[in-house]
Structure 1
């Protein structure tokens, strides 16, 4: 029996049995019951200066191979989003190249792709609304020219400049008027980015939601959906019930996605507006599990959907634990454990943003939820990280180091 050595917060070591990888199969047909995007991360060159403030040097082979991994499971890729370290290490030049390269790769395999459009290439912290509109349009046109779908991300510039809800309505009206294809709006909560407090004109969720719904209602078919990342399931359900038929709710709630994607049993999960589609950083860690669960929904097997996906929610909650904006570390860590990148490295030095006990809990939950795609490799890599950080595996409980035998 192969064991995992786990590290508790008090430094104590304990053993856990290494589970086998689930026997999930890739879909033979496009997923149909839900639209699901995995918000993908970026892999830096391991030898690059991956320290805070340095330009991102991307390992394009590993980064793009990961996107093909997601597409191979029938999921779409949401790229150049906060999971890719927008505003946390991914500079403007790297963002533009990521969008261009990902769009080309998506076109080569018919993969579904949306990319983040923001104003973050502007260096000044404070700019007026007219410049915010122009900045949005510049990134919008780059994404459209590349052939990618668009997620209109929440802008820190707009959060600083807007004085009223009318300012948000004006900016979104003018930017959406410039879009040549339907876009997804993004409401990112302060757990993910404290600089976005009061977005859509209010700290009150209901008032902000009213402004968002007015923006969507005025845009007609230009808005194909909204991604809500508030970690508030009740708020998401309240908004999705009021969306026009032309707009989907894409859950960005990495704490409660199982029930939100399944839908509202009181009205029937097959009716528009009663369930959420998905655009999740968590699905970057869980592409096989997410695909298998949606395949089950496609068959009408809700019990199998829950059996597959429900065990992954505690893992996601650990990855996205407070401070939530460091969740990218857990995403890259699981990518490394599963063999999708050669080193546990992140641009901006963000791989150092979580403690060893936090990572140990991720390992434990990934093991029990079926999120380790190559368990033997994951165990070996995790144990090597413990050793590198001075953990004496000779003191581990019996049978906990068999992977090194």
Structure 2
């Protein structure tokens, strides 16, 4: 019996069947480059209170990455899904980058990692030069570990930049120094309100010219750009402006099936938080796309959209709670706890609906385990 939005309990019986999993060490998709942005697993015995240093369950955290690699997907690590700026401090992040990159190298798997400025002190007074130096420090950590860097959108740059010219100058100098092509990162305000006005424009539609110009000026240093605006039209507009060889990685957790499938004008690749929650379905769908089976692709992936839209519902930045919740239901971690206490960010009604939608999407890999664990959560929450 699951609590519903009307305040009543509703009967729930799992009925979905997960897609057939890929064999271990499945090859990556041929037609699209795909990364699942992975979360981190908190050590339940180490505190992880709000404002405390993050302490991770390293075995479970790294095992989850191997789960994604086993399916043939790449891992995007140390990103916002891993609670950058929401509980995961820089010392823990740096250790995560080193460990994840080493695990990827041990099996020849794909990994990209976020480089940002979140080790700077918050508040006013930061200059663009200080932002650049902070980026450089984190870039050295990511490149030194052997991972592809993702230049994450910076709250500090959003706070101190006076206009598009400051963004062009900072990104230009950073791109001139990178050892190999990197991935840029455009995160909309639904994911982080502190990024309002990024690229020097309040309206993201007006920022497309600035972003396209920065990429065009440094195309040989840019592998692609991850776009998380939850606006498919704007994503396609930018995609059409990219130089040949530069990828658009969709981070649109609302509209990803059609953006990845694409049309005669092109398609997006994937760097998605929802792929961590639906990894077996995502891998199966991309294999169908490789085979030219667009109907099969849609059959597998489209049922996951209601789940994604629920997990990423406003306030969107709490989506990490849903990702960790489904990881727990599917047996990838021993407990439903998160660094910074973020497991409390979604209520029981929200989590119950996530369970229903995960079942309908076919992404409960062990429905009996999911029911057992949900019953335990309901009991400790006072639901009888």
- How do residues 284-363 of structure 1 correspond to structure 2 at under 5 angstroms? 284-363=276-355
Using the TM superposition, give the Cα deviation of residue 19 of structure 1 relative to its aligned residue in structure 2, in angstroms. 2.0
Show CA shifts across 1:253-295 (max 9, x none).
Answer: 000101101102xx2xxxxx61110000000101100000000
1:386 equivalent in alignment to 2:349: no
For 2:73, the equivalent position in structure 1 comes to 75
For 2:58, the equivalent position in structure 1 comes to 60
**Aligned partners of 2:141 and 2:200: how far apart in 1?**
28
Show CA shifts across 1:100-158 (max 9, x none).
Answer: 00000000111100000001111243311111111101110110010000110000110
**Aligned partners of 1:189 and 1:134: how far apart in 2?**
24
Contact persistence 1:179–1:222 (CA under 8 A): yes
Contact persistence 1:99–1:146 (CA under 8 A): yes
- How do residues 119-130 of structure 1 correspond to structure 2 at under 5 angstroms? 119-125=117-123, 126-130=125-129
**Aligned partners of 1:312 and 1:347: how far apart in 2?**
27
For 1:209, the equivalent position in structure 2 comes to 208
1:18 equivalent in alignment to 2:14: yes
**Aligned partners of 1:21 and 1:108: how far apart in 2?**
33
For 1:6, the equivalent position in structure 2 comes to 2
Using the TM superposition, give the Cα deviation of residue 15 of structure 1 relative to its aligned residue in structure 2, in angstroms. 1.4
Using the TM superposition, give the Cα deviation of residue 205 of structure 1 relative to its aligned residue in structure 2, in angstroms. 1.8
Q: In structure 1, which of residues 44, 47, 52 is the aligned counterpart of residue 45 of structure 2?
A: 47
**Aligned partners of 1:285 and 1:161: how far apart in 2?**
35
Show CA shifts across 1:311-364 (max 9, x none).
Answer: 001100000000000000000000000000000000000000001000011000
Using the TM superposition, give the Cα deviation of residue 206 of structure 1 relative to its aligned residue in structure 2, in angstroms. 2.3
Q: Determine helix, strand or coil for the equivalent of 2:270.
A: strand
RMSD (Å) for aligned C-alpha atoms? 1.0
For 2:196, the equivalent position in structure 1 comes to 197
**Aligned partners of 2:302 and 2:270: how far apart in 1?**
15
Which has the greater radius of gyration? 1
Q: How many residues align?
A: 381
Q: Determine helix, strand or coil for the equivalent of 1:88.
A: coil
Contact persistence 1:227–1:279 (CA under 8 A): yes
Contact persistence 1:6–1:364 (CA under 8 A): no
**Aligned partners of 1:142 and 1:162: how far apart in 2?**
25
1:171 equivalent in alignment to 2:170: yes
Contact persistence 2:19–2:280 (CA under 8 A): no
1:281 equivalent in alignment to 2:273: yes
Contact persistence 1:250–1:278 (CA under 8 A): yes
**Aligned partners of 1:25 and 1:361: how far apart in 2?**
24
**Aligned partners of 2:43 and 2:365: how far apart in 1?**
23
For 1:146, the equivalent position in structure 2 comes to 145
**Aligned partners of 1:49 and 1:22: how far apart in 2?**
35
**Aligned partners of 2:10 and 2:127: how far apart in 1?**
56
Q: In structure 2, which of residues 85, 105, 108 is the aligned counterpart of residue 107 of structure 1?
A: 105
For 1:29, the equivalent position in structure 2 comes to 27
**Aligned partners of 2:49 and 2:283: how far apart in 1?**
35
For 1:236, the equivalent position in structure 2 comes to 235
**Aligned partners of 1:220 and 1:328: how far apart in 2?**
32
Show CA shifts across 1:216-239 (max 9, x none).
Answer: 000021011000000000000111
Show CA shifts across 1:285-306 (max 9, x none).
Answer: 0110000000000110000000
Unaligned runs of 5+ in 2: none
